[in-house]
Amino acid sequence: MTIDIKSTGGNVTAVLYGEIDHHNAQEIRTQLDNYIITVQPPELTIDFSNITFMDSSGIGLIMGRSRLMREWGGNLEIRNPQPYIRRVMKLAGMERIVKIT
């Protein structure tokens, strides 16, 4: 799993590559949380366009980052999930928690 974090004008985009499962979700959470706590961005976008697989660990990842962003007064957006990943997010009710584009 690779994460590419870019900051533009205070807003942050984290591009994820590979799979999100119980084996690597903790590493992703740690990297994102450290960045969020250090930078406290007003907007965090997580780009899922390069995610090839996601299990329920991905739902937990989104929920936790959403909660952390709200603690700092920021917002989380999920961008470009593959159709089957978007369907999993919708079934889990993620659209009520974060913006999915």
pLDDT digits (tens, 9 = 90+) for 23-36: 999 999 999 999 99
101 pLDDT band (50/70/90 cuts)?
very high
Q: Are 16 and 50 in contact (CB under 8 A)?
A: yes
pTM score over 0.75:
yes
**Percentage of residues of the chain with pLDDT beyond 70:** 100
Q: Are 36 and 68 in contact (CB under 8 A)?
A: yes
Strands 75-79 and 43-54 come out as parallel
pLDDT at 83: 96
Residue-wise pLDDT tens digits, 63-74: 999 999 999 899
pLDDT at 52: 95
Q: Identify residue 10 by its one-letter amino acid code.
A: G
Q: Which long-range contacts (CB under 8 A, 24 or more apart) does 2-6 make?
A: 3/28, 3/31, 3/32, 5/31, 5/32, 5/35
Q: Are 3 and 30 in contact (CB under 8 A)?
A: no
Q: What is the mean pLDDT of residues 95-100?
A: 96
